[in-house]
Chain A
Amino acid sequence: MGVAEEIGFVLLALLGGALLTAGLERLLGTAERGPARPLAVARATALPNADRWLLPAGPISGLAGVLFGTVVIPFGPTLIGRDLGIGVFYFIVVIDFVVLGVALNGWGASTSDAVESCYRIVAQLVSYIVPLGLAYVGAIMMARSLVTTTIVDAQSGLWFIVLQPLGFALYLVTGLMQSYRAPFLEAFSDRIGGGVLGVVGGGPALVWRVTLSGLLFLVAAMGAILFLGGWSGPFLPPPVWMALKTYGLMALMLSLGHLVRPLSTAEMLALSWKILTPAGLVNVLIVGILILLHIGPA
C-alpha cells in the first residue's frame, strides 16, 4: 500500500470514528453535555483579558497531542506511521499534550469559567494517568515489549482481554476519563458554561472539535491494540478488523459511561486513588503470577 493510500485510510478511519461518536452521543442524549457540546465554529470570539501567547498555544498543543499519538497506532502489520521502539510509552506521554492544550487555552482565556476548566482538566489528569499506566503495564509484561506491533503479535494466540479482564476494565474506566466522556464531564460541564469550549469560536473551536473526537478514537484504538488483538482477525483485511475493534470499543465505552451519573472532580479523584490505583497494582501482581506460571504468550 502506498503512502497516499495509507494517509487516506487513516483519515477515513478518523472521519468514520467522529461520525460514529456524533451519532452515538445524539442517540444517548449526551450530545448537549461535555466535549460533544455544540460549538460556535462559524463565529469567532474576542476575549478582552486574554493572554496574547497562551490562548493561541492551547489549540495547537491539543492538536499536536492527537497527531503525535496517531504516529504509533498500527492499522496493519506495516500500516503504521512509525514503529517506534518505545511505542506505548511515547503514546501515553504525547497524548497528554491535549491536557496541556486545554489548560493553556483555559488559563490564557482568563475568564473564571475557562480557568476553572483549566484546574479541572489537570485534576482529571492526576486521576487517570496512574491507573491507566498500570493497565498498560499488564499488557507490556505479557508482550515483553513497548512496541505496538509486537504487542499485537503477542496476542495472535489469545487476546489479552481474556488473560487480563481486570486490566481491560481499568482501561475502560480510565479511557473514559482520558477522553472526557460521560460520566467524567466536569472539565466541560454545563455548570461552568462548557469551560474552555464555552469561550472558543471560529478556527480554534474547529480544532477542539477535531482534537476531542480524535482523542476518543485514539484511546479506543490503543485499547484495541493492548487488549483486543489489534488488527488480527480472520477473513477480513487487517485495517478493517482494526477499525471494527476501535469503533466497537468506542461504542462500548460511550454506552457504558452513559449508564452512570456524572461524577464531580472530588468523586473522580476519590474513585481513582481509593479504587482504581490499588486495583491497578493488584492487576500488575496478578499478571506477574500468570507469567510465572507460564500462562500467556510463549
Chain B
Amino acid sequence: MSDYAPVALVAVLAVGLGLLALALRAGPVRRIEAPSAWAQFRFGYPIYALIFLAFDMEMIFMYPWAVVFAAIGLTAFIDMLVFIAILSAGIAYAWGMGGLEWE
C-alpha cells in the first residue's frame, strides 16, 4: 500500500494548490451575464456512448492479456483473434445500422 503513498501526497498537493488558486482574488471582477443553460439539449451521441462502453471494457481486458501474451504464445493469440472477431462484428453491425452517423 505504501506504493500509493506518493499518489495520496500528490492528491493532497493538487487539492491544496487548486484551493489556493481558487482563493486568489486579484484584479477587477468580470461579470458574465448569460442566461442559465437549463434547457433541453438534443444529445448527439448516445449510440456512440454505448459502443464506447463495450470497446472500453474490451480494451481493459486486453491489458492483462497483453502482459502475459508473449509467455503463453499461440493459444493467447487465437483467443484474442476470436475476441476481436466478435467485437469487429459488433462494430460492423453498428456501422451497417447507421449507428456511426452523427444525428
Interface residues of chain A, those whose CB is within 8 Å of chain B, are 40, 42-49, 56, 59-60, 63-64, 67-68, 70-71, 81-82, 84-85, 89, 110-115, 119, 123, 126, 129-130, 133-134, 137, 140-142, 144-146, 199, 201-204, 206-207, 265-266, 269-270, 273-274, 277-278, 281, 284-285, 288-289, 291-292
Nearest CB of chain B from residue A216's CB, rounded to whole Å: 18
A289 neighbours in B (Cβ, 8 Å): 77
Q: Are B45 and A207 in contact (CB under 8 A)?
A: no
Q: Are B51 and A64 in contact (CB under 8 A)?
A: no
Q: Are B67 and A144 in contact (CB under 8 A)?
A: yes
Q: Are B102 and A82 in contact (CB under 8 A)?
A: no
B25 neighbours in A (Cβ, 8 Å): 44, 202-203
**Residue contacts A-B, CB under 8 angstroms, 21 given:** A43-B27, A43-B28, A43-B29, A44-B24, A44-B30, A46-B32, A60-B22, A68-B14, A71-B6, A81-B10, A84-B4, A110-B36, A111-B37, A207-B18, A266-B44, A270-B100, A273-B95, A273-B100, A274-B100, A281-B87, A288-B77
Total interface residues in chain B, CB < 8 Å:
65
Instruction: Give the docked Cα–Cα distance between A48 and B32 (Å).
Output: 8
B51 neighbours in A (Cβ, 8 Å): 273
Q: B97 at the A/B interface (Cβ < 8 Å)?
A: no
Interface residues of chain B, those whose CB is within 8 Å of chain A, are 3-7, 10-11, 13-15, 17-39, 41, 43-45, 48-49, 51-52, 55-56, 59-60, 62-63, 66-71, 73-74, 77, 80-81, 84, 87-88, 91, 95, 100, 102
Instruction: Give the docked Cα–Cα distance between A230 and B26 (Å).
Output: 41
User: B4, B6, B52, B77: which has the most chain A beta carbons within 10 Å?
Assistant: B52
Q: Are B32 and A47 in contact (CB under 8 A)?
A: yes
Q: Are A292 and B100 in contact (CB under 8 A)?
A: no
Q: A199-B32, A277-B91 are in contact. Are A130 and B63 (CB under 8 A)?
A: no
Q: Are B30 and A43 in contact (CB under 8 A)?
A: yes
A207 neighbours in B (Cβ, 8 Å): 17-18, 21
A123 neighbours in B (Cβ, 8 Å): 44-45, 48
Q: Are A67 and B32 in contact (CB under 8 A)?
A: no
Instruction: Give the docked Cα–Cα distance between A199 and B30 (Å).
Output: 9
Partner among A45, A46, A146, A281 whose Cβ is within 8 Å of the Cβ of B84: A281
Q: A64-B11, A133-B59, A203-B24 are in contact. Are A141 and B38 (CB under 8 A)?
A: no
Instruction: Give the docked Cα–Cα distance between A137 and B55 (Å).
Output: 14
What are the nearest 10 A-B pairs in CB distance? A60-B18, A203-B24, A266-B102, A203-B21, A64-B14, A111-B34, A133-B59, A140-B66, A49-B36, A115-B37
Partner among B44, B63, B81 whose Cβ is within 8 Å of the Cβ of A137: B63
Q: Are B63 and A146 in contact (CB under 8 A)?
A: yes
Instruction: Give the docked Cα–Cα distance between A146 and B66 (Å).
Output: 9
Q: Are B18 and A288 in contact (CB under 8 A)?
A: no
Instruction: Give the docked Cα–Cα distance between A89 and B100 (Å).
Output: 28
Q: Are B52 and A130 in contact (CB under 8 A)?
A: yes
A112 neighbours in B (Cβ, 8 Å): 34-35, 37, 39
Instruction: Give the docked Cα–Cα distance between A85 and B38 (Å).
Output: 44
Which residue of chain A lies nearest to B10 when distances are taken between CB atoms in the complex?
A: A67
B22 neighbours in A (Cβ, 8 Å): 56, 59-60, 203-204
Instruction: Give the docked Cα–Cα distance between A125 and B75 (Å).
Output: 33
A144 neighbours in B (Cβ, 8 Å): 67-71
A203 neighbours in B (Cβ, 8 Å): 20-26
Q: A202-B25, A269-B102 are in contact. Are A126 and B49 (CB under 8 A)?
A: yes
